[in-house]
Structure 1
Amino acid sequence: MTTVSPRDSSINGGVLPDAPVPEIDRSCVSRLAKAVEIADYAAAEEIARDSWFDLALSLRHGVAEALEPIPANELRGRPLLLMMLGMAYNVTPQQRAKGLRYFVAAVFAARSMRGRVRMTDRVLLLASESAAFRVIGRTGLSVRAARSALGALEALPAVERGSIPALPRIYAHLGTSLYYGGRVAEALSCFERGLAESPTQGYPLGFTNVAMLAGIHALAGDVHEAEAYLQSARGEPWTDVQRSWYSGTFYRIAEAIVALERFDTATARAHLDAMRHDRRTIEHWRAISATEALVALVDGRAAAGLVGMDAFAKLRGEEGRRPATVSSLAGVRSLLQLALGSTAAAATVLRSIDRGEAERYAGAARIALARGEHGAALHDSRVAAERACSSRTLAEAAAIEAAATLRVEGSRRRRPAIEHLAELLLSTGMRLPVTMLPPADYAAVCAELTRFGYDELRQELPERPILTFDAPEAVLTEAELTVLDAMRRHPSITSIAGDLRLSVNTVKSHRRNIYRKLQVNTRDAAVAVGLDRQLLISTE
């Protein structure tokens, strides 16, 4: 049995806990070094093949040093060793560029030797290629490699497939690449296959598969599905180590989300605190950040949640500022801004989400409801429901539609809207979506749940909603926001007009509206208020 340092890292950037992990055989590193020392590169390649994941989990323990003496002309013909060397360099930030060169070299070597590379080696290479591209943010290439690896696996006879080391882990890597590439259904299928390949005897592999299945379902709002996988993950053959280190990240997220659906923030925090990882390198950081923020939101600490998200993003450096990252976290940020009473800031945050996304429409509908614009809330909630790709977004849209419908006196849609919402909540196990309504709307929806025979569901909801809203603020139009942003960059109306290709009179008209709505009298004051309300993004 080997004790692993907390600084150890897998090719996915996950960090292992300071606890015994019996599946890791560190002797493979010394055997690899010995084979290279005597120039037996074929033996080194065989060790890499047979101990692929032991080496991948030992990258900080001399793998690069063991492989570096191999001459370049020998490496060019051994893609497995090239990929392993690239992985070894990738775990050190200052050497990641070098690691990427080896990744690329391994890919080209494997393609040029396509007819001479074993199919089992091809699977390992494609799985590692997929993980490598995923880690550096090239999700399209990552998905393509993952699909190729799955195709290669399916083409293998059962005997050969069974000879691949740690097959459940390969499925876990491929499923993770598909998930982060937006192919959720394919990812779930892949994790199911990985779970099916988990051995029934000896040290259990494949925990990542059951953890990802639980976490993805919980985040998507399929709470009952998540609970079924959690039931499996909580007991044998899985271990506490697996539940706390990198492989258990989505298990802990699932436990936290399920606890939040019961409004149990203490249990949710306990599961998040049980994670053992390096926040600077863990690839699942966005899911962790969003879940932590939701816990703070349900706990009535929206400001703390927003500060925590900002700190996490700052810790990730450039990755935390990427448009895709900002977009993926915008929905939660918008909720936090609403909880702080700023519909304007909440609306501005939503602008980073693609216009066609259901989450953007659901957020816009919630903001419209908070502003008293129930017509717009009805429209946007219905668009969100039509485009929803998850049960959670569908339930949030249904809750907003029900609330907006209740505002329309004599509407015949009252009962159908309430029943649709109630049945969605009961069938999925969610409770949070209905609590994210303005207080008056929440009270009205709860009363109608009781009226139409859903009193048991009503009793599971808290007395007060999670979000509270101040009086509606004056809202800047898209054109006014554009002019306000230009006012920050240009000192005169003429230069603003030139930059935006508008007439001077049009700019003056927009400026008057901006001053009136923000209740200011000068350009500097307007920009200051815009930054304070997060209508503009500070460049400092």
Structure 2
Amino acid sequence: MSSYGDRPLVLVIDDPSALPDQIWQALEAAGARADSRLLRALHTGDAEEAERLLGACGPALVTDHPGLLSRWHDDAWARENAGPRLQWALWLDGGALPRPLGRERGPDRLLARALRCEISAARGQVIARTDASAIAVAVQDAPRQVWEALGPWRAAVHAACARQLTVEGKTGEALTTLAVGLSVAGDDGARRELSGLAVFVAAVHGDLVEARRHRQTVPEVSGGHRVDPTLAAADALIALEAGDHAAARRILERAGDRHRDLRMAKAFLLVADGDPQAAAALRSTMNGTHPLLRALDDAAASGGAGAPPRLVDLSLAQDAPRPRLHAAVREFAAARRFAGPTTAAVLAQRIADLAAMHGMSWPLGLLDGEDGDALAGLLGRHAPSFLPAPAMAQLTDAEVEVLRELAAGGTEAQIARRVFRSVNTIKTQRRSLYRKLGVSNRADAVALAAQWGIAPASRGVDRG
């Protein structure tokens, strides 16, 4: 392109198909951008060149230029001849669904299968033939030449698999997949998408400490990135978790309800505001089996009488924090009726530890008034105070365990033997948690642990 002084001249092509070949050749000789070259390839029916350009540039070539491929959304030639990258680009741009899996092999087949994950997750469906776990593992374990062939699309594959795994309730696997994707993301757009998804998935998973950690790495919601609606929904869920309904409402009012994740978060806000009928009406506009939708179904099944008794049963894998806290709450309620006070006290402390460690509170809504009062009596405080203080929320699970061991007593060597770690690891984690808590000695750290309800670890047998 030519320029005038320091300012480049910008040429806007309203109808690329109307340009003759000579004009296209002149533009390419002048250094036309990749999006113009992609349009040229499609105009001339060169599907291989379109695939090559998309392979080099990644999804950003389309997501940075909304509507770029609008002319080919429903084009029969494009649907029949497009490779997996062009099919994915057309889907991202709002075009028709891709054709069924066919002749793709190697990396192209991985991309085509991952696109099925992307589409089924967008619809909130679990499709038996779409094994997101297997695709994520296949990409992670693939030889280097496959990684090179995927190029900038590798991060998109991890994001698509994570979305589908979340719909299936496998939020732990989704977080692992996103972590792998973040380790290979080559541009800011891919990192923003993966980190934004990680905030949302961690919130659904029940690890609000992890959700807040990821949130610190993502810029504020601008509305310009395709992950921003999901990120806004995660912000609303985090605000609801902290009991700040007003903040959740402001977030959702700014973000609107054009996206499925925003509508799910809005339905949860309606439940939290005591309007399960309105939540059920909003839920009826969304199809699929997303864990949050199942939870809304549980809320509707409660008949709107008080707090929904199963609102937080998200049908997640049992290693997720929410089901673990959910189980502890149910066991506590049963222990009060059928077991002794010692068992109930142990379970009460488990509830407090899980809530503090992961920064969540929803499953506590399972308790009726009498059980809630009994829990507060055993722990000396009511449920909202189970959530960690800001400093506590920065600690990792391993650091919380070391803090409990410090409260239990013993030397660093004894603690190392009890938790099966090296002495150097214990020293490193101790220094890290001291720094995060703003203390310089064990006594102050233990005092804060007691203040936040972090009980000393059971001493058990010193494995010396």
Q: Does the C-alpha gap of structure 1 residues 249 and 143 become closer, same or farther in structure 2, counting only changes over 3 Å?
A: farther
Shift of residue 55, structure 1, vs aligned partner = 5.2
In the alignment, is residue 391 of structure 1 matched against residue 391 of structure 2?
no
Cα distance in 2, alignment partners of residues 217 and 325 from structure 1: 13
Cα distance in 2, alignment partners of residues 55 and 122 from structure 1: 21
Shift of residue 446, structure 1, vs aligned partner = 1.2
Shift of residue 218, structure 1, vs aligned partner = 1.9
1:149-164 correspondence runs (5 A): 150-152=137-139, 154-157=141-144, 161=148, 164=151
**TM-score normalized by the length of structure 1:** 0.55
Shift of residue 192, structure 1, vs aligned partner = 0.2
Of the candidates 285, 288, 300, which is equivalent to residue 333 of structure 1? 300
Shift of residue 395, structure 1, vs aligned partner = 1.8
Partner of 1:224: 209
Shift of residue 413, structure 1, vs aligned partner = 2.7
Shift of residue 336, structure 1, vs aligned partner = 6.9
In the alignment, is residue 197 of structure 1 matched against residue 197 of structure 2?
no
Shift of residue 260, structure 1, vs aligned partner = 2.6
Partner of 2:55: 49
Q: Does the C-alpha gap of structure 1 residues 143 and 329 become closer, same or farther in structure 2, counting only changes over 3 Å?
A: farther
Matched residue SS, 2:152: coil
Partner of 1:34: 40
Cα distance in 2, alignment partners of residues 460 and 121 from structure 1: 51
Partner of 1:365: none
Partner of 1:296: 270
Q: Does the C-alpha gap of structure 1 residues 223 and 137 become closer, same or farther in structure 2, counting only changes over 3 Å?
A: closer
Matched residue SS, 1:218: helix
1:364-443 correspondence runs (5 A): 388-407=318-337, 411-443=341-373
Native 8 Å contact 2:267 2:280 kept in 1 = yes
Matched residue SS, 1:359: coil
Matched to 1:401, the amino acid is E
Residues 186-220 of structure 1 show CA distances to partners (whole Å, capped at 9, x for unaligned) of 32221001111234xx7443222222222222222
Partner of 2:284: 313
In the alignment, is residue 447 of structure 1 matched against residue 362 of structure 2?
no
Residues 305-353 of structure 1 show CA distances to partners (whole Å, capped at 9, x for unaligned) of 4313413423x4xx36x8999645323334672317xxxxx79xx7xx9
Q: Does the C-alpha gap of structure 1 residues 396 and 70 become closer, same or farther in structure 2, counting only changes over 3 Å?
A: closer
Of the candidates 116, 123, 126, which is equivalent to residue 113 of structure 2? 126
Cα distance in 1, alignment partners of residues 137 and 339 from structure 2: 56
Shift of residue 33, structure 1, vs aligned partner = 3.2
Q: Does the C-alpha gap of structure 1 residues 332 and 69 become closer, same or farther in structure 2, counting only changes over 3 Å?
A: closer
Q: Does the C-alpha gap of structure 1 residues 239 and 398 become closer, same or farther in structure 2, counting only changes over 3 Å?
A: closer
Matched to 1:359, the amino acid is D
Partner of 2:83: 79
Of the candidates 199, 203, 213, which is equivalent to residue 214 of structure 1? 199
Q: Does the C-alpha gap of structure 1 residues 430 and 182 become closer, same or farther in structure 2, counting only changes over 3 Å?
A: closer
**TM-score normalized by the length of structure 2:** 0.62
Query: How many residues get paired?
Result: 356
Cα distance in 1, alignment partners of residues 60 and 148 from structure 2: 19
Cα distance in 1, alignment partners of residues 74 and 40 from structure 2: 10
Matched to 2:247, the amino acid is T
Q: Does the C-alpha gap of structure 1 residues 148 and 395 become closer, same or farther in structure 2, counting only changes over 3 Å?
A: closer
Cα distance in 1, alignment partners of residues 340 and 158 from structure 2: 54
Cα distance in 2, alignment partners of residues 30 and 398 from structure 1: 58
In the alignment, is residue 91 of structure 1 matched against residue 94 of structure 2?
yes
Residue identity (%): 18
Cα distance in 2, alignment partners of residues 273 and 296 from structure 1: 13
Cα distance in 2, alignment partners of residues 203 and 48 from structure 1: 17
Cα distance in 1, alignment partners of residues 146 and 78 from structure 2: 34
Native 8 Å contact 2:236 2:249 kept in 1 = yes
In the alignment, is residue 65 of structure 1 matched against residue 83 of structure 2?
no
Q: Does the C-alpha gap of structure 1 residues 296 and 120 become closer, same or farther in structure 2, counting only changes over 3 Å?
A: same
Residues 259-282 of structure 1 show CA distances to partners (whole Å, capped at 9, x for unaligned) of 233321122223333436624xx4
Q: Does the C-alpha gap of structure 1 residues 169 and 136 become closer, same or farther in structure 2, counting only changes over 3 Å?
A: same
In the alignment, is residue 103 of structure 1 matched against residue 95 of structure 2?
no
Q: Does the C-alpha gap of structure 1 residues 33 and 437 become closer, same or farther in structure 2, counting only changes over 3 Å?
A: same
Cα distance in 1, alignment partners of residues 239 and 291 from structure 2: 28
Partner of 2:385: 460
Cα distance in 1, alignment partners of residues 76 and 375 from structure 2: 70
Partner of 1:253: 233
Native 8 Å contact 1:120 1:164 kept in 2 = no
